[in-house]
Amino acid sequence: MARKTIVAGNWKMNMTPSQAVKLCEELKDLVKSDTVDVVYCVPAIDIIPVVEAVKGTNVKVGAENMYYEEKGAYTGEISAEMLKDAGVEYVIIGHSERRDYFKECDCMLNKKVKKAFEAGLTPILCCGESLEQREMNVTMDWIRLQIKSDLVGVTADQVKSMVIAYEPIWAIGTGKTATTEQAQEVCKGIRDCIAEMYDAATAEAVRIQYGGSVNASNAAELFGQPDIDGGLVGGASLKADFGKIVNF
Ligand code: PGA
């Protein structure tokens, strides 16, 4: 069965609740699609108004992060159950900004992935190498380590339903996109890694996105690659261009 393309916006720490509602309104007709799944991953405080604003449209809502504990004394954190109850369907886990600035390690991310599934959320698990790692020729070793560690104890059926986003750190917010060949090569490497860990059917089913300076002019070529099933889009998800990326 062919994998359905999924294009997700990662709003990061942008958009106040009122700006968020306005953006949803502006994008509404531009992101319509029968063939592509469209997701807005938004800041926690925007979730409730955005869920309301996209009601009756094809847009699904995602969170940018969550905590793995059920509930209790974790000041400032948001649980998977809270997200689910608010109408969230997807959650980004392990974005390189979370790994880097907030010191989230693979052991923690593994707990988050498992908790997301438990709550009925679909994880968008991010992985990716630094420029230094690419130059040292350890890109695939590093990414395989991330994927293997983050998926400990995750079942084949769960992996089939999830999304993995390959985001080379050096391409995020830099305007420096990976070449189509580089992006395809790593996305295929991730699929091969899933085949080794699970089986061919699981590898065939899991959706793998590319992220890192995706824009209206490079989306078609990137998403046209055999192992790239869409994109995780930062900067360009905050403007009308996002509609062009969805309808690449
Ligand atoms: P960018 O961000 O599209 O602005 O490079 C992508 C991301 O960090 O998910």
Catalytic: 167? yes
Per-residue pLDDT band at 63 (split at 50, 70, 90) = very high
- What's the whole-model pTM score? 0.98
Residue 113 has pLDDT above 80, yes or no: yes
Ligand 1, residues 166, 172, 214, 239: which to mutate, most atoms within 8 A of Cβ? 172
Tell me what pLDDT residue 222 has: 98
Ligand 1, residues 40, 214, 238: which to mutate, most atoms within 8 A of Cβ? 214
Question: Smallest Cα–Cα separation from 132: which of 162, 159, 187, 169?
Answer: 169
DSSP H helices in the chain = 17-27, 47-53, 80-86, 96-101, 106-119, 131-135, 139-150, 156-161, 180-197, 200-205, 219-223, 241-246
- Whether ligand 1 lies within 6 angstroms of the CB of 167 is answered as yes
Residue nearest to atom 1 of ligand 1 (CA): 234
* Spatial contact of 206 and 187, defined as CB atoms under 8 Å apart: no
Tell me what pLDDT residue 74 has: 98
- Whether ligand 1 lies within 6 angstroms of the CB of 158 is answered as no
Residue nearest to atom 6 of ligand 1 (CA): 234
Which candidate in 64, 95, 97, 129 is catalytic? 95
Q: What is the pLDDT of residues 126-139, one digit of tens each?
A: 999 999 999 999 99
* Spatial contact of 8 and 90, defined as CB atoms under 8 Å apart: yes
* Spatial contact of 194 and 159, defined as CB atoms under 8 Å apart: yes
What are the structure tokens assigned to 125, written together? 């698990």
The mean of the pLDDT values for the chain is 97
* 218 CA → ligand 1 middle, Å: 13
Catalytic: 95? yes
Instruction: Give percent of the chain with pLDDT exceeding 70.
Output: 100
Q: What is the pLDDT of residues 192-220, one digit of tens each?
A: 999 999 999 999 999 999 999 999 999 99
- Whether ligand 1 lies within 6 angstroms of the CB of 219 is answered as no
Q: What is the pLDDT of residues 6-32, one digit of tens each?
A: 999 999 999 999 999 999 999 999 999
Residue 1 has pLDDT above 70, yes or no: no
